[in-house]
Amino acid sequence: MRHLPLVMSTYFIAGLILTSCISAASEPEFIEIEVTAPRLEAAQTVGSRSYNLSSRQRIDPLGGVAGLMPLKAGPAAQFQSLFLWGANSESVLVLLDGVPLNDPTSPSGGFDFSQLDWSLIEQVTVIPHGGAVEFGSQALSGVLSLKSRRSRSAMGNFALGSDDFKKVGLSFPWKAGRGQGFASLIGSQSLGFSSADKNDGNQELDGFERWSSLINWQTELVDDSILQSGFWVTKGKNEYDRSGGALGDDPNARSQQQFLTYYLRYSYFVGNRTRWTAGLNGLLAQRKEENLRDLSDSNEFWASYGAMTNQVHLDLQTQLASEVSLKSGVAVKSQTQFYSESGTFGESTDSWRGEESSIFVLPKVRGEYFELSAGARASCRGGACQWIQEAASVWLWPEIHPYVRLAEGLKYPTLYQTYSQFGQRDLRPERMLSSSLGADFKKWQWQWNLNVFQNLMQDQIQFSTGKYSNLAKAKILGGGISAENPSGLSFKYDYLEAKDEVTGLRLLRRPQHFLYLSQVFSLASAWQLGPQLQWRSEREDLNSTSARVILPAYDRLDLQLLWLRSDKESFTFRIENVAERNYQDVWGYGTGGRQFMLEWQCKDL
């Protein structure tokens, strides 16, 4: 009964979509949306990669992205993170339409990708080995920038799958005067399955419910000026296992999450060479976790986390000459966080505040055969300032673009790591020095990328002996190759050697080898088959007694069949983990066996 309201809402919205799709005219009327204010050419960061997410990439959206290694702690809606070229997940700055998503309620400040519905995302841009000069102190190892999906027509979709999975979505554009907008609403739920080891008698289902909505809007106020705003809201709850293996005594725990991100930007263009942008963005987050004593709803322990982050910024982008451009800006960020808990020893509540200010400058010089950029950022917090810098160059030859990149990253300790009962006030920021050498080129009708790199991390913050401390130093070496051709075949191979410089041990959960293959076959004019194969080598992890264990290597095959019934209607059938591999990315947390999903999509409603 607890799922009844969402089930009714899901089928009601699905019925509206179906009715609209059947009754829609065969010749759709597109809404023409354009803003006539002049725009500067978008500057590409040396070494960055952009990927457009087609429908065939929805099974594992980040699996084929060079340098990214996704990681799941159990089934869908359980915690999901990623390693960017071997660095810690929380050291990656995640942006949605330019707004930081990293969760301040998390002790380490990482982003949980299970909160994100990938059908909202149109494009992924990865900036490895840097980005902190332009984007701020959270980008220790790099930036993952997400662009939300937009369309000139209304769209709807409905899906059913294994474990009683249901999903419904609706999105539509609108236009009013000189303004335009786009909105999406998505709801999903599943009864789930036990992420703990079933061989130990764990049979309880770990289900979830989630609603997400995203709205973007912009208008041309007067000539040469644009006002943009938007927000992303997600709200959900899920049940999960706090520990794996024999300790996964189901039902174990449940959580509720609410996130709201928002932005407001005003851009003013001075001719075709200069753009001033003033903006405000923020994030409101609340999360509550409960340990359950038994099958009843009586609570043995609960913890509540909340945070509010606001940032004001002023940026300048200008073309000083035909060969010289400049990016610069200032930003002030404030954050408030609270933590409450109730358990055996009573209740307690703590709250903390913090502020950070920064200024950066990033000039770029471009000639006929080369491009050079070098910049620096000063970031201040608690009366102390930190400097970081980066430099990059690329040689622009007709069919090959070799590049080199040097960058420093910076990540301040979170308020929880600093002020909680487990924190220390004198923690130093984590720092990383990255260097990479690579090349983009075309050969044999393939688009290739080669990359080798080294990351040196110092003052890494870890939890040890009851406190957070600057303990670890890490050295990460690696590289990769990726390629794709016009026929729809793509592959990537990543190599990683990541060690703790203090202990000499390998960093946990990082495979030394990661291979990914994807192909699209056109079976007929209206049918497409898309297999995806990934293979990971052995990884090390810690078991319940903190002893090192080896997680076996595994391969996983996914299949997707697409039927384009008409120009506006399609059906997609997906099989994940076709061979039903029994594998774990995190010790004790089994991921799903063979999973099925059938999705129906209609556009031009």
CA atoms of 374 and 505, how far apart (whole Å): 35
CA atoms of 301 and 289, how far apart (whole Å): 8
Question: Do 118 and 58 contact (CB within 8 A), yes or no?
Answer: yes
Average pLDDT, the chain: 84
Mean pLDDT of residues grouped by 10 in the chain (605 residues)?
50 55 43 37 65 63 80 72 85 90 87 84 86 89 88 89 92 89 93 69 77 92 89 89 57 83 93 90 91 56 90 93 90 93 74 94 90 94 91 89 93 90 89 93 89 92 85 90 88 93 89 92 87 93 87 93 90 92 84 88 82
- Predicted pLDDT at 332: 96
CA atoms of 364 and 337, how far apart (whole Å): 38
Q: Which domains does the chain have, with CATH numbers?
A: 4-26+47-603 (2.40.170.20)
Helix (H, G, I), strand (E, B) or coil at 9: helix
CA nearest to 404, candidates 417, 396, 394, 418? 394
pLDDT per residue as tens digits for the range 492-550: 999 999 998 888 899 889 999 999 999 888 888 889 898 999 999 999 998 878 889 99
- Predicted pLDDT at 58: 56
CA atoms of 133 and 432, how far apart (whole Å): 13
Provide the greatest CA pair distance for the chain.
Answer: 70
pLDDT per residue as tens digits for the range 125-153: 888 888 899 998 888 888 999 988 887 88
CA nearest to 589, candidates 164, 202, 301? 202
Query: Could you give the C-alpha distances from 244 to 251, 332, 589, in angstroms and in order?
Result: 12, 42, 5
- Predicted pLDDT at 203: 65
- Predicted pLDDT at 87: 85
User: Do you find a cis peptide bond into 5, omega within 30 degrees of 0?
Assistant: no
Q: Supply 245's token pair.
A: 């293996």
Q: Which residue type sits at 325?
A: S
On whether the pTM is more than 0.85, the answer is yes
